[in-house]
Amino acid sequence: MTSRRAFVQGTGWAALAAFTGVPRMAAAAPRWAPYRDTISIDALSGSELFYLPEGDPGVPAALQALRDSGMTALMVAPAPQGQFWYTDAAFEKTKREMEAWKAVVARHPDVLTLIEDHADLERARRERKVGVIFTFQGTEPLGEDPDRIPMFRAMGLRVLQLTHNRRNLIGDGCMEPGNAGLSNLGHQVVERLNAEKVVIDLAHGSQRTIREAILASKAPVLIGHTGCRALVDVPRLVHDDELRLMADRGGVAGIIFWPYIREQGQQTSADVIRHIEHALKVCGEDHVGIGTDINLTPVDVTPDYVRENTEMLKGMIADGIFEQGRDPNLLLFVPDLNMANRFEVLAGLLSARGHSDARIAKILGGNFARVMGEVWGD
């Protein structure tokens, strides 16, 4: 998650339809009756609440979106990402941000709760609160020191993504043409994460990094926000062989909401479902989840938002994150799932396609909860 988080607040369907030509079709989709009693986990999301000062006029809307979402837990990333953050200043910044975000959770105990073990997930579901699971999108805050892992775990870190898009000391990210695998230090970090009961996330990894980390880990891993490269051949998504290997060893892959899941044009809920259903065929229903990589609050698509979104997409295309020729006017989120209760709507769409309630519950969060329980314990 990057500066796009600053865009995410309110709702604006009229502007959205005018900008994208996508009608408000999912808003009228059938809801899934068991949703509010089901564990639902987004394996990468966020809320502008973590960036707003206390008393900001945007706070009530952010809190209302969290209430409306019906989510059990969001995985959120307070650490710097996407650059080589190896300095002492970055290390200290990460610690400060973690404490600041925990303070936000503590200020709103009627809405938010910190997730530290599997029992906390069940408690969040039962109490109708949104759980907060801390992750880092990259191991840069560790520097060269795996001994920082227990320190960060004591501060609340429960999931650690090994790489972001570029190469780091652990291994290659997906945008590195060399496709190098796990480094010697990377093997040490995987071993230490297993020992400290921190879930390993391989999203953004290169093909070799993903494969080698799956094989190195003694515990199931996540590929928390990705898609199926068999459907769209871009580096950010994962090949069937790695998805199958991950599943064979008990892991879970979450389907992302970004434009990667469609070759051209604006992605919709139909594309999300297409990737979910392909992953089900490859991995089985015990190994598929959702990781939107999108903030929870519905987006107000104002003219300013459109301008900023287009400039951001142009920058991503220039950086190679999206391929040349990709339309810079695309929205990063799924327009017909632009609502706080997007998981409930998506569940209704899956149900209408004949997926059983038990399978839908696994996809919405049951599978992630299983892995977290196996790694964290109760």
The string of DSSP letters for 80-145 reads --SS---SHHHHHHHHHHHHHHHHHHHH-TTTEEE--SHHHHHHHHHHT-EEEEEEEESSGGGTT-
pTM: 0.92
For residue 354, give every residue at least 6 positions away whose Cβ sits within 8 Å of its Cβ, in sequence order, or none: none
Please report the sign of the dihedral spanned by the C-alpha atoms of residue 146, residue 150, residue 151, residue 156: positive
Predicted pLDDT of residue 30? 72
Which pLDDT score, from 0 to 100, does residue 28 have?
Answer: 56
Domain ranges of the chain: 3-376
Cα–Cα distance measured from residue 246 to residue 149, given in angstroms and rounded to the nearest whole number: 23
255 DSSP 8-state letter: E
Helix (H, G, I), strand (E, B) or coil at 245: helix
pLDDT reported for residue 320: 86
Assess contact for 312 and 318: CB atoms under 8 A.
no
Residue numbers of the chain with a pLDDT score lower than 70: 1-29, 82-84
- The per-residue pLDDT for 362 is 98
Residue 129 token pair: 């609160």
**Which residues have C-beta within 8 Å of that of residue 15, sequence separation ≥ 6?**
300, 301, 302, 303, 306
Which two three-digit tokens encode residue 251?
């892991």
pLDDT at 11: 29
CA 306, CA 204: separation in Å to the nearest integer?
Answer: 26
Residue 290's pLDDT is 98
What pLDDT sits at residue 345? 97
DSSP string, 158-190: EEEES--SS--SS--BTT-TT-----HHHHHHH
Asked: is 3-376 a CATH 3.20.20.140 domain? The reply is: yes
Strand partners, 132: 74, 114
pLDDT in the model for residue 64:
97
Distance in angstroms (rounded) separating the CA atoms of residues 59 and 48: 8
